[in-house]
Structures are given as C-alpha cells and as structure tokens.
C-alpha cells in the first residue's frame, strides 16, 4: 500500500522566509496536526542531521527519529523517518517569480520499506494501521499548511 500524498497553499511570504520557518523543527508543534514537539539530536542542522519528533493522536503517543535528506534554502526541506523509511517534507516555489509569495507544498511518501516495517510491527493489523496513517496524513497535511500560512501571514 505504498502511496504519496501532497497538498499546497499559497502564502504571502518569500520562499526564504518560508524555508526558515519550516526547517526550524523546534517550532513544529506550532503547526503540526500530530507532532506536538521536536528537537534536534545534535548541533547539526543540514542534510544528514537528525531530530526526534514526539507525536500524539488521540490517546496514542510515540516518538520517531528522522534524518534530514534535503535542506535547500527557499526550495525544499525534507526528512526520512529512520524506522519506517517514510519521507516527509516541504517544497517552496515563488509565485510567478515574485519574492513575496510562495506556493508551499507539504508531501509524504510511504514506501515498500514502510510496508515491511508495518508488517513486522503490526502483523495482521498492518493494513488497518497503514490506512489509518494515510487518512491522518491526508487531513493533517491540509491542516498543517493552513496553520503555517497563518503563522507566516500573521
């Protein structure tokens, strides 16, 4: 059940300003529908750096370690959850080559590596767990983008 999901929103802020916000993982709790806190695991901040995200959904809580796979200022900030291989991130594109508006896209990709991880972790319940995570991502991405827009536009 590998999948990719994304959604986009236009924000009235420069791509560099959008990147500065979304790449500061310590602020994730301000906009994420699921991750209420994140912290860097060392002083590193670029590609290869790791951070720990603390997640909550209903009464369930869990933490994950992620590795930054792309940190291109004003263009993309993305990471890979080390346990499942699931990739998450943000892409930024200036609107009509302007520097005061950005199309911000959040995306996730659940791969065969994630399927294998879920099968090992959840056994026969893996398909239901995957479907639940997919639904959460579908709605969570839209909520997250709206929250980021509100932060950037004041």
Q: Which two tokens stand for residue 128?
A: 């239901």
pLDDT band at 131 (very low <50, low <70, confident <90, very high): confident
With respect to residue 138, please indicate whether it lies within any of the assigned structural domains. yes
- Domain of residue 81: give its range: 3-23+68-153
pLDDT digits (tens, 9 = 90+) for 29-76: 999 989 999 999 999 999 999 999 999 988 989 999 999 999 999 999
pLDDT in the model for residue 153: 96
Which CATH number does the domain housing residue 129 bear? 3.30.530.20
Residue 88 lies in a domain: yes
Do the domain assignments include residue 113?
Answer: yes
C-alpha 104/C-alpha 78 separation (Å) is 13
Q: Is residue 126 part of a domain?
A: yes
Q: How many domains does the chain have?
A: 1
In this prediction, residue 55 carries a pLDDT of: 94
Q: Is 92 domain-assigned?
A: yes
Which position has the higher pLDDT, 138 or 37? 37
pLDDT confidence bin for 122, thresholds 50/70/90: confident
The reply to whether 33 falls in a domain is no
């Amino acid at each position: 059940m590998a999948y990719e999901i994304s959604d986009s929103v236009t924000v009235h802020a420069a791509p560099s300003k959008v990147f500065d916000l979304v790449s500061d993982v310590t602020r994730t709790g301000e906009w994420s529908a699921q991750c209420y806190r994140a912290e860097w695991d060392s002083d590193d901040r670029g590609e290869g750096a790791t951070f720990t995200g603390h997640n909550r959904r209903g009464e369930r809580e869990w933490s994950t370690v992620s590795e930054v796979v792309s940190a291109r200022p004003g263009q993309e900030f993305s990471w890979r959850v080390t346990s499942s291989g699931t990739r998450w991130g943000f892409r930024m594109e200036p609107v009509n080559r302007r520097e005061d508006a950005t199309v911000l896209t959040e995306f996730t990709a659940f791969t065969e590596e994630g399927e294998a991880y879920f099968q090992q972790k959840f056994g026969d319940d893996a398909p239901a767990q995957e479907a639940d995570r997919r639904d959460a991502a579908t709605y969570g991405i839209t909520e997250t983008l709206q929250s980021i827009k509100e932060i950037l536009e004041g």
